[in-house]
Amino acid sequence: MKLLHLALTATMLAGGVAAVAWTQTGDDSRDRPRVNPEMHGASAAAPAPDPDSIRLPEKRSAQSYFGQLSFEENCASCHGINGAGGTDNGPPLVHPIYEPGHHPDTSFVRAAMSGVPSHHWNFGDMPNIEGVNQQDALRIASYIREIQRANGIE
């Protein structure tokens, strides 16, 4: 049983390493991370967005407003302003790989409260975020979802 567990772990790790491909785009002089489309579908292979290209929602809910405050205090240093990435410390959250069907809101809660091993991007493991509780994480998820919808990620 232990051997089977080790074999499965090795297979999962190998798959995780293969899930990320770094490419150079012709119109941008810096490397832009991409997710493997064979594993996650064609839209997930989109490069990380240019942070200046992120559209913000015209109207926001109260939950999203408070989520933005928590995001800016706890998440933006790694995930970028408005979740656009570009910090070299964490992936963009305004990206098709984080659409609700693949990463439900509970994924954001779990990541903030418990941390998460690196699995789509090559930024390293995400630690838990001290002081962020479940309600804060759900507000942050609401904020990110509203930005995602404004950018065509549903």
Q: pLDDT tens digits, residue range 87-114?
A: 999 999 999 999 998 899 999 999 999 9
Q: What is the pLDDT of residues 140-154, one digit of tens each?
A: 999 999 999 999 998
Count of domains forming the chain: 1
Q: What is the pLDDT of residue 22?
A: 33
Find all residues with CB under 8 Å of 111, minimum gap 6, and list them.
126
Which residue from 135, 122, 118 is spatially nearest to 48, judged by alpha carbons?
Answer: 122
Find the domain containing 143 and state its range. 2-150
Taking the whole predicted model, whether its pTM rises above 0.75 is answered as no
Radius of gyration over every alpha carbon of the chain, rounded to an integer in angstroms: 16
Say which residue, 37 or 75, is predicted with more confidence: 75
Q: What is the CATH number of the domain that holds 120?
A: 1.10.760
Q: For the chain, where are the alpha helices, taking DSSP H only?
A: 2-18, 37-40, 62-74, 76-79, 105-114, 134-150
